[in-house]
Structure 1
Amino acid sequence: MKILLLPLLLASLVAAAPTRDADTETWWRIAVALSDDGMEGRDTGSAGYDRAAALVAQRLAAAGVRPAGDGGGWFQTVPLEELAVRDAAIAVDGRPLDFLQDITVTPESVGAPLDLPIAYRGYCASDALGDVRGKLVICHGSRREGMPAPAQRTAALVRAGAAAVAVIADPGFTVEPPRWPFAYARSVWIAGETRPQPSLPSFALNADALGAMLAGSGRDASALIADGASGRALPSFDAPGRFTARFTLARRTYSSKNVIGLFPGTDPALADQPIVLTAHLDGYGYGRAVDGDRLYNGTLDDAAYVALIVHMIERRHGHGFRRPLLVAAVTGEEKGLLGSKWLVAHRPATAPHFAADINLDQLRPIFPLELLTVHGLDDSSLGADARAIAATLGFAVQNDPEPERNLLRRSDHWNFMQAGVPAVNFVFGFRPGTQSERIYRQWYRTGYHRPQDDPQQPIDWTAAADFNRFYYALVERVADADAPPAWRETSPLRPR
């Protein structure tokens, strides 16, 4: 197993944490088994993913869950297509840029080699573009109010005749700063779907590489980055270099599996109201090395919470709730919420109607659980259920305090909500300026979608146990209630 390289900030918090209790120990053993190096990071459709899926199915079967996948088996096959960059050579005046560290690309946006002059145009508002015909245009990707949104920026560039765009990943977006390197450059979608084609070859640029792009221009790249990160006015100018890029692309068609099972209910009158429990089984697999480690185990994202669903059912010793539970360890979340999208569109014959979805993702038990962010808190009765359970356990709940991160739409519950199914998802919250916030921010810089998200990372075992108890109680409350979960009339997401 690998040596942990997360900063001492995390370790200092949990060094004095108590040892885990028996229930937490059992849960964690399952999490470790699913994110062990032998699972190879559970990349969508990989042999390691299939081994993890088989382990989940085996444990569910032993716990009294019945298979509910294709043909009455455990697995629901999701057909996929992929376009990946297998090799890239990118340079400015022959000086190479480090692909995935300095720059990356949207695979479907490129094909033929590029040889282009370079234009820097600040935030790339339409009135700042000037003559960019046939040029690679560098733009700051600011998320500040009043700045061009990505679609506006692209439309303006296309109208102005730009040949390609490189968007600087904004280091000023401190609530979730850009992370380099990228693991790889792949696009994955459900086979047969029509994919919108990008209007321009589209690159993401590491702010640290701007100097290489502007070499010879006489401009101070660090000052431009600082001004762009702060939303200050930026100049427009052309750089003297030429940008060249060539790619080797690989397209393939394959499949990956959702693990689907039905834990029968005890009340025949509620048999058509299954509560769906989702967590994504897939991870990143192997990718670009970070600190010499290229295996992205994905322990907290999201093996630990597939493990929690499995363990919660094992604790029942075969005794169901009033409503049935549809257990779904879904694939392809990291590639675009693909497994849950397929599940919502291809519901099992044994559970064609979904009463609600309780999703587990984005959970980081690395500091005390005093505040829990609930996505969907005010959208359905599930939010009131979560609030009531949290109150009994001594912590508070809140709406997402950082909606600009768009976390509501970044995990599998979103596909259920889009289909009219009440759903919730959870994130460990923090009070601004606290040690918990510092630990949370640090993990997003050094652990999120990194090889360092592995079984050896520091965990606050009390916080982990607190959330697990919350989850057990929430599932019981929802599955045993007299009435099924319902949308609130005030929710903008409720079916119209």
Structure 2
Amino acid sequence: MKRFLSFASLGMLLGVVACGPNPADRISADGIMADVEVLAADSMEGRGAATEGEARAAAYIAHRFAEIGLEPLGDSYLLPIELVGMTKDVAASSLSIRGPSGPLTLDNDGNVTFWSTAEEPVVDLRDVPLVFVGYGVEAPEHEWDDFKGEDVAGKVLLFLNNDPPVQERGEPLFAGDARTYYGRWTYKFEQAEKHGAAGAIVVHTTESASYQFSVIGNTGSRRIWQRTYRLDLLGWIDSTLTERIAASMGTDLAGLFDLAARRNFAPRETGYRVTAHVETDIERVEAHNVAGVLRGSDRTLADQYLVYTAHYDHLGINPDLPGDDKIFNGALDNALGTAAVMATADAFVAAQPRRSVIFAAVTAEEGGLLGSSAFVAAPPVPRPQIVANFNVDSPQVFGVTHDVAAIGLEMSTLGEVFAQVAEQHGLRPVGDPNPNAGSFYRSDQVSFAKAGIPALYLQAGTEYVDSLGFDPRDRKQRHYHQVTDEIHDEWDLEGTARDMRVLFETALRIANADTQPRWVPGHEFEEEWRELYTDDPNER
């Protein structure tokens, strides 16, 4: 019978303190910056998954893990994974969406982006009906069904992004401002495949997506990594094109959102038809996660593992970009997170925790969390022995704040400990600063959570001690997934180091506790947790 961390036991756990020099002091702004400068350099060529740049970055991280004192998990720090890469031939591919008033004016990667995941070299669709399916949600727990049994096989489905914003009896039916998995674009594509559709196109608005079209606008021109769905056509269109489609249906874009927010919604023909020719180069390649382990000091707990993750891949190089800069350096996203995790590994070596700790720099996050998914699907240690995940992706970069943020704060006992540590340092612990973005489902911690493993995702606070003179959210958004994501003069990594020390102290207390963490009662991943860890079926 395993022992689990209850909320009542937190007080005893928080009494664990280290003697002598504080290992957390090894996490410094200068040390983190030194590794960022290497990983975000032009010589790393944007660290695209399965590229020479990724191989250079992986070799550097492996060298640093060895230098810090971590052991490899097996014969090497490098853990190979297979990726199926698909790159559209932009010049040879075409898309037409024609309606009652003629064709839409499509600007490839400007107001529309499209691709195929059929794993076929050539895909042709001709005059396929475009059907509006609202949010495309089937949620039996809410008795919500956007399809109403209608046959949409062989058609192209038009989806709204996000969850249905429905309130009943004064309460949100879904999660209100916090996006659930039903609101993720990946769910929309999965739904299209489930219903036998030929394709899926998601409507982009900045409000519903929480990011600008430019973030995903060139998806169709990049190499796409296969996920769990195969469809002839996938795409995004912007709000201006959707207004044209809505007009042919006798409404406007706001009207489409209104229609889809009703329980009696059913799929509707748009009057538009889709013709597409997509030529795709398909390749199977090997990429690498990089992982090292610090063995626990307690014989009774050393076979349980905490896992720190940070994705080290980014978007590589796009030679077709205008201008001289064609390298997506990914300094904030996520050279900084990777460097911060390496600094944390050094602190753990000094702390000598009771449980073992794995530090994993995972690849292909930008392609769809593929590295972390592969890690969880075939972990280097038995999955039930992994008891917690701490993920770091694009952490604080503009200095010290009065608050410290973690997504998943309210979800598990990891968040309880994190809040206690923050408060002991005089900081205000906060959850997701932007719950509408559905951030818990957008980075590598969700790969662990879906398997039942409690996870916490460090984020940047917003209450800056010193006035910045600019809007930090706007500044991040401007550089997100752009070649301008580089080290900038306004960076102040004292905030990064402080936040990582809070996360380190949290993880150290979890690593040294007699009991392991768990999700809060009633959480969406609680059943998976019970199946993973509980020996007695009667307790599931």
| Deviations, residues 259-314 of structure 1 (Å, cap 9, x unaligned) | 11112333333321222111111111124638764322111221111111212333
Amino acid at match of 1:76: L
Deviates more, 1:375-384 or 1:436-445: 436-445
Q: 1:65 to 1:448 in 2, by over 3 A?
A: same
Give the Cα–Cα distance (whole angstroms) in 2 for the partners of residues 274 and 478 of structure 1: 10
Alignment of 1:359-370 (within 5 A): 359-366=391-398, 368-370=400-402
Q: 1:50 Cα deviation (Å)?
A: 0.9
Q: 1:331 to 1:445 in 2, by over 3 A?
A: same
What SS class does the counterpart of residue 108 from structure 1 fall into?
coil
Map of 1:426 onto structure 2: 458
Map of 1:197 onto structure 2: 230
| Deviations, residues 379-411 of structure 1 (Å, cap 9, x unaligned) | 333212211221123222233364443222222
Deviates more, 1:22-31 or 1:224-233: 224-233
Which runs of 5 or more structure 2 residues have no equivalent in the other structure? 1-25, 137-145, 167-173, 175-181, 531-540
Give the Cα–Cα distance (whole angstroms) in 2 for the partners of residues 451 and 383 of structure 1: 34
Map of 2:48 onto structure 1: 43
Q: Does 1:490 align with 2:493?
A: no
Map of 2:424 onto structure 1: 392
Q: Does 1:145 align with 2:168?
A: no
Give the Cα–Cα distance (whole angstroms) in 1 for the partners of residues 151 and 396 of structure 2: 47
Q: Does 1:116 align with 2:127?
A: yes
Q: Is the 8 A contact 1:83 1:249 kept in 2?
A: yes
**In angstroms, what is the RMSD of aligned CA positions?**
4.4
Give the Cα–Cα distance (whole angstroms) in 1 for the partners of residues 193 and 50 of structure 2: 37
Give the Cα–Cα distance (whole angstroms) in 1 for the partners of residues 299 and 269 of structure 2: 71
Alignment of 1:158-173 (within 5 A): 166-173=201-208
Q: Is the 8 A contact 2:123 2:279 kept in 1?
A: no
Within the candidate set 66, 89, 97, 1:61 is matched to 66
Q: 1:350 Cα deviation (Å)?
A: 9.5
Give the Cα–Cα distance (whole angstroms) in 2 for the partners of residues 384 and 270 of structure 1: 21
Alignment: residue pair count: 458
Map of 2:290 onto structure 1: 259
Identity in percent: 24
Amino acid at match of 1:270: L
What SS class does the counterpart of residue 296 from structure 2 fall into?
coil
Q: State the TM-score, normalizing by the size of structure 1.
A: 0.76
Within the candidate set 356, 372, 378, 1:324 is matched to 356
Map of 1:18 onto structure 2: none
Q: 1:244 Cα deviation (Å)?
A: 4.2
Q: 1:319 Cα deviation (Å)?
A: 5.9
Give the Cα–Cα distance (whole angstroms) in 2 for the partners of residues 390 and 262 of structure 1: 26
Map of 1:33 onto structure 2: 38
What SS class does the counterpart of residue 335 from structure 1 fall into?
coil
Q: Is the 8 A contact 1:80 1:255 kept in 2?
A: yes
Map of 1:101 onto structure 2: 110
Within the candidate set 19, 29, 34, 1:24 is matched to 29
Map of 1:16 onto structure 2: none
Q: Is the 8 A contact 1:141 1:169 kept in 2?
A: yes
| Deviations, residues 178-199 of structure 1 (Å, cap 9, x unaligned) | 4353253444247xxxx4433x
Q: 1:172 to 1:95 in 2, by over 3 A?
A: closer
Give the Cα–Cα distance (whole angstroms) in 2 for the partners of residues 321 and 246 of structure 1: 56
Give the Cα–Cα distance (whole angstroms) in 1 for the partners of residues 507 and 486 of structure 2: 27
Q: Does 1:455 align with 2:487?
A: yes
Deviates more, 1:58-67 or 1:373-382: 373-382
Q: Does 1:468 align with 2:500?
A: yes
Give the Cα–Cα distance (whole angstroms) in 2 for the partners of residues 345 and 155 of structure 1: 22
Q: Does 1:84 align with 2:87?
A: yes
Q: 1:52 Cα deviation (Å)?
A: 0.5
Q: 1:152 to 1:56 in 2, by over 3 A?
A: closer
Deviates more, 1:316-325 or 1:37-46: 316-325
Map of 2:309 onto structure 1: 278
Within the candidate set 342, 345, 354, 1:310 is matched to 342
Map of 1:182 onto structure 2: 218
Give the Cα–Cα distance (whole angstroms) in 2 for the partners of residues 357 and 86 of structure 1: 39
Give the Cα–Cα distance (whole angstroms) in 2 for the partners of residues 123 and 467 of structure 1: 40
Within the candidate set 243, 246, 263, 2:277 is matched to 246
Give the Cα–Cα distance (whole angstroms) in 2 for the partners of residues 152 and 333 of structure 1: 19
What SS class does the counterpart of residue 172 from structure 1 fall into?
helix
